[in-house]
Chains A and B, each alone.
Chain A
């Protein structure tokens, strides 16, 4: 768990840092010296790029640096978003129990609304839909929560990575 996710304050970024972020928010080239390639485009030395990247990781601005896989091809064929209705007094306790499951990749608290009373959300990964349902049932039992919705995805309508900065932003 990355507790920094809960902090609201943002970091001050230099224009060079924004340019670096713009250069690694999509896909780095699969070549012998990818950073040399990127540094050349930014017109800086490779060592300087490596230093900035290490610093962005160290400051927790980069949460994860690496490959994003297509789930369907990585062995866990099925996943489901489970929305839980949890007594607000028990959210911390239940959230930590849910997060302790290996097959849970994400666990967030969100405020309920008048039209949607669920307040805790987990992404559950399994071999198939039945396996996902079994895991959710286990979670329900362990956390002692009995009201939940299994939101199986039927179709991916969009999946992309965020463009935080483009080269124009980075110049300001």
Chain B
């Protein structure tokens, strides 16, 4: 799908500070100088085409009483699919990527406690036979920004 000016204006406007207002798309329309119908129609199209993955809230896990970590595993090429299937079954695993390194599988894990996550990692090790999984919780955040100008 090719993005036109109104699509770009919408994408640049709604990645953060989406209006918390009874009529959010109307508020965006007023700001950007389009009609509410146009904004709704284009936003729907962007959502349906998958350019917008979702519109919703992103939380600070710690503030909700959760902990998060980044995990990395060394998995032989022919076992990647099976390993990913086991890992992805856990609801707390939100992102999982195959990456170019001897540690080739990298996933994020959010849980109620580090103990719960460690127990899950042990379960994964036992089930898959993959012995080495690194558990690398963040100790300091310098930047987190998930906005992209289009």
Contacts and interface: CB of A to CB of B under 8 A. Distances in A.
B54 to A, nearest CB: 4
Contact of B14 (A67, A107, A149, A163): A67
A65 B16 contact: yes
A35 B21 CA distance: 8
A153 B99 contact: yes
Interface string B21-39: 1111110000000001000
Contact of A98 (B40, B92, B142): B142
Contact of B22 (A36, A70, A125): A36
Contacts, number: 256
Interface string B63-79: 11110001010000000
B121 interface: no
Contacts of A56: 57
B72 to A, nearest CB: 7
Contacts of A153: 97-100
Interface in A64-123: 64-71, 73-76, 81, 91-92, 95-96, 98-99, 104-111, 113, 115-116, 121
Interface residues of A, number: 85
A165 to B, nearest CB: 8
Nearest to B25: A32
Contact of A108 (B54, B141, B150): B141
B99 A26 contact: no
Contacts of A69: 11, 15, 51-53, 148, 150
B63 A161 contact: no
A27 B56 contact: yes
Contacts of B21: 35, 50
B59 A68 contact: no
Interface in A21-50: 21, 24-28, 30-36, 46, 50
Contact of A155 (B61, B70, B87, B97): B97
B51 to A, nearest CB: 5
B57 A105 contact: no
Given A21-B59, A25-B59, A28-B55, A65 B20 contact: yes
22 contacts: A1-B144, A5-B62, A6-B140, A6-B141, A50-B21, A61-B64, A64-B15, A66-B15, A67-B11, A69-B51, A73-B49, A74-B150, A81-B99, A99-B142, A107-B141, A109-B138, A110-B136, A110-B137, A115-B132, A121-B70, A154-B99, A158-B107
Interface of A: 1-11, 13, 21, 24-28, 30-36, 46, 50, 53-54, 56-57, 59-71, 73-76, 81, 91-92, 95-96, 98-99, 104-111, 113, 115-116, 121, 125, 149-165
Interface of B: 1, 11, 14-18, 20-26, 36, 40, 43-44, 47, 49-66, 70, 72, 84, 87-88, 91-101, 103, 105-107, 110, 132, 134, 136-146, 148-150
